Amino acid sequence: MTPAHERAFALLSGTGILRSSYAPPLSRLLWRLGLDIPPPHFAPFALNAAIFGLAFAIIWAVIFWLLSLAQVATVDSLFLRSAIAGLLFGVGLSAQIAYSRHKHNLPTWAELQARRPGGA
């Protein structure tokens, strides 16, 4: 974990935002896999929408396929429904995160990375 991540977590823990919101399981998994992405509250809107929307679309597709006992009319239908669900989920969650970032007056990721350890 980078020093910027540590500063981000320290800042976020003081806001009252739940740890499960600023370090969700998907982000923790991506960090463990070596992807150096910022916590969701510091990530760009489009990155959050893409990451969370894609993960939701994949999970949605698998669940929908299993629940329909693999009798979806067409693969195209499954793909389209999953893509729409992922898009709506990703944009909605990204909007909620952006609102929270604004509400708590959080700095940008670049500003946080530029800060020196110890506060200044």
Residues 17, 39: Cα–Cα separation, whole Å = 12
Residue 33 within any structural domain of the chain? yes
Residues 87, 9: Cα–Cα separation, whole Å = 27
- Domain containing residue 55: 3-114
28 pLDDT above the threshold of 50: yes
Residue 119 within any structural domain of the chain? no
In this structure, the number of other CB atoms found within 10 A of the CB of residue 52 comes to 23
Q: Residue 107: what residue type? A: P
Please give the DSSP secondary-structure letter assigned to residue 104. Answer: T
Q: pLDDT tens digits, residue range 99-120?
A: 999 999 999 998 888 876 655 4
Dihedral sign for Cα 106, 37, 22, 58, please. positive
Regarding predicted confidence, which is higher, 113 or 38?
A: 38
Residue 39 within any structural domain of the chain? yes
- DSSP3 helix / strand / coil % (the chain, rounded to 5): 70, 0, 30
Indicate the number of domains in the chain: 1
Max CA pair span of the chain: 59
Please give the DSSP secondary-structure letter assigned to residue 42. Answer: G
Residue 70 within any structural domain of the chain? yes
Q: With beta carbons less than 8 A apart as the criterion, state whether 63 and 103 touch.
A: no
User: Tell me, what's the pLDDT at 42?
Assistant: 96
Q: pLDDT tens digits, residue range 46-90?
A: 999 999 999 999 999 998 888 876 666 677 888 899 999 999 999
Residue 68 within any structural domain of the chain? yes
91 pLDDT above the threshold of 90: yes
> Between 25-32 and 45-67, two packed helices, what is the crossing angle to 10 degrees?
100
pTM, 2 dp:
0.85
User: Tell me, what's the pLDDT at 89?
Assistant: 98
Regarding predicted confidence, which is higher, 19 or 120?
A: 19
Regarding predicted confidence, which is higher, 20 or 2?
A: 20
Q: What is the mean pLDDT of residues 38-52?
A: 96
